[in-house]
Chain A
Amino acid sequence: MNFLITFKVAFRALARNKMRSALTMLGIIIGVAAVIAMVSVGQGAQASIQDQIASMGTNMLMVGAGSMNMGGVRSGTGTTNTNTLTVDDIEAIKRECPSVAMATPSVRAGSQIIFGNQNWNTSLQGVNEEWPKIRKWLVQSGEFFNESDIRTANRVVVLGQTIVDNLFPGVDPVGQTIRVRELPFRVIGVMAKRGQDSGGRDQDDIMFAPYTTVQKKLLSITHIQFSYISAISPAATYTAEQQITDLLRQRHKLGPNQENDFFVRNMTDVAETADETNRIMTILLGSIASVSLMVGGIGIMNIMLVSVTERTREIGIRMAIGARSSAVRTQFLIESIVLSVFGGFLGILIGVLLSVLIPKLLGWPTLVSITSIVGSVLFSAAVGIFFGYYPARKAAGLDPIEALRYE
């Protein structure tokens, strides 16, 4: 007897009992849908974090004033009153660390800005002319300030998109004058749009001015809070980190038992940590979902076993009229494979649907991977074979006379 006919026999048997077939499939449907949805959530998070880190530049390092205690008591927030980091430190890093390509000091001031009769609360970040290159963040219109603006502490600003959208609807901001803490600043450029970061914060609600201007005219300080540094290549970030640490310890005259009064953060590290965390989360979500897939498989075996007992007479009839045991075994095996694979396909549909709905309903990014789809199909087929084999063998091993006599 050929395979196609056994397939037909199995299909008819399943169709004869639609309710039971549907309920049996439910376990697999839920299992597969869960695997696909969970893995897509995990991978979506991973992808969005990777995106962000890549957009920051993988060869970027950040140096901050203050220490990063292990206990996190004084976590390096680089506040205005931590004055351990200076512009000279940054100049020295540029000069003396061979793995460093570019560096900018950074000071921040929260401030209200006024244009015409409108105002807006935002923050002003003071940096040098290398900022767009270090952060790989380009100017969209107008231009960024240059070295002479830094030297003369010019009152010029480059605005983020959010500020433009709110203060200059329908007006070209370049060339306009805004007031920051009572001082007039000339707008010379607008940054390209960046969107939200992983924490959902708007990265475009910011503006940039020469760090010298922010230090002298707004904050009246001589130290800086942060420095953003670009290593000569992504691979050089670790040596750059070492060189910076050594140099700053030496410049700050720290003894061997004194802890750093600064911290260096390496984006590659951040990327790897985030990646690892996410990978673990994906595996965890995937395994939890796989357990439900296993439970679904056991459900199939359960029903198939009950089915073999319940259909003993049917098996006896089939054997009496000439079905070989192999045909009976194949029939039951196909029944369970059809149940699990068909359930698997429905599960994929629902899983993909969930992956599309989750970003809309919960705001989490998702990424449906082919691996998880192919994996679930193979897994559900394997579930069908594995959990269907025992009941099928049991059915094929029945004695036709005993089976016919079964009530």
Chain B
Amino acid sequence: MELSGAEIVSRCLAEEGVEFLFGYPGGAVLEIYDSIFKQDRFKHVLVRHEQAAVHAADAYSRSSNKVGVALVTSGPGATNALTGIATAYMDSIPLVVISGQVPSAAIGLDAFQEVDMIGCSRPIVKHNFLVKDVRELAATFKKAFHIAATGRPGPVVIDIPKDVTMARTEYSYPESVSIRSYNPPIKGHPGQIKKAAQLLADAKRPYIYVGGGAVQGGAAAQVTELVKMLNVPCTNTLMGLGALDGTDPNFVGMLGMHGTYEANLAMQYCDVLIAVGARFDDRVISVPGQFLSNPKKIVHIDIDPSSIAKRVKVDVPIVGDVKAVLTDLIAVLKEQNLKPNPDALANWWKQIDEWRKPNSLLYTPSTEVIKPQHVIETLWKVTNGEAIVTSDVGQHQMWAAQYYKFRRPKQWINSGGLGTMGFGLPAAMGAQLANPNAQVACVTGEGSIQMNIQELSTCKQYHTPVKVLSLNNRYLGMVRQWQEFFYGTRYSESYMDALPDFVKIAEAYGHVGFKVENPADVEPVLKEAFGPALKERLVFIDFRTDQTENVFPMIQNGRGLNQMDLPEHMRGMQQTPFENNRDYGNLC
């Protein structure tokens, strides 16, 4: 069957089972838009800014098991998409982003709306393709979806010159794909897995450190089985939250810059560490030297060899898919009936419980002013811990991560690696489209929300009844916190002056808006927002929160996991193992 390039684009998307295409039209993609008009296999979502198209596609993927897809025009459409692409790249999210390009003959001539999208996107994609010949179009789509979703996932850009969308060719969608230079590993090396099992069995202070790879790799069940079977403590990174139920007694909280006291100290003083799809990020272990100053044996499971031994040398590298490797590891442990020494483990738990006791997430409640932590705790209560929560970037993001106890993977959607303000609202929209029956909350700040607030319009058009919780502290709070700690409270350009009336904004876009200033109103308003009367409506809640609240614990740049700044009730507390267990550093 002979089709135009544009028709082939639509066909390929349909073949890949694409449900939603997030995009924005323009000259270079008009042919493609015409082909979209003539089909009904997938829906197009018209965003209000290309950055939002990519974030929405990204969150669609993060909250489902599918590849997200976005379509933008050449030039400014393509450059607007770059922040979204970089966001997905840093968090290893599978996307296919289609960009229009000027006609082949005009490439290189500084044509109208010409930008070298292949060059611009190269450092922030897993791969990209410039399609020069319509006969290669279908095979390119097949490859792009395959590359995006397999191995370490990531965004793939397909740049299509306009003449290619107009040219015609015989169409058939390839059934399979094989790329000789691309063969991502799946199974881990059995010998290495045995070594890991033995290390676990010999451990006195074992610790499981789980990251975004376990969420992406669908390995939450295996993580849970391993943790419960051995009864070992487990922490999640910001990207790994939900891989183990946040209310599970074996869960010691998130670790890292704003991790809990117990999660960070366990990371520092464990003797055997199993890293599962986590990449020893600088916001997690801070300085490698300090982290390794208490010796430990490290097993690192990751599908990407370049994640292993990048910042920290490990003893047992295992290259493979988390799910496959954990399944094999669990099998070996069971077969050989290996488990850590019960007395040592009990001692370790005793230590961890002591670290837990002071509760590093304790904050001072108030009846005068709304505490941001209280809003998140109430959100958890009102949604029974079942909502999909997206967030923007800043203090509110950390409070959402700390206080919403995620039950499942793919329930928490945020920009961790790039830290992109403006992510939250388009992400909520994408997550709601992927999960039409779920409750979706977007936790944001008055700064971040203004970076993509125009998407309230898209939410109206596509009936995505997300609930926006803006923790409005009238500050770029995370910046203000750093200025308070490190710049002598010189709040340079971090005060958000001239804020709009957010209730009116919400209403102007056709939504429901509430302003909440009294702590007593937090719960009733959230109940109303998530209640049956407003089930079909987007509700924007402007919470006037405590302006100067800070996120604790905090690890300052250059400090170690046992050098946290602790909340007031724990100031000065020692960050070493307690007396009865003082033999730590030298074991191993």
Q: Do A and B come from one complex?
A: no
Tell me the B residues contacting A by CB distance below 8 Å. none
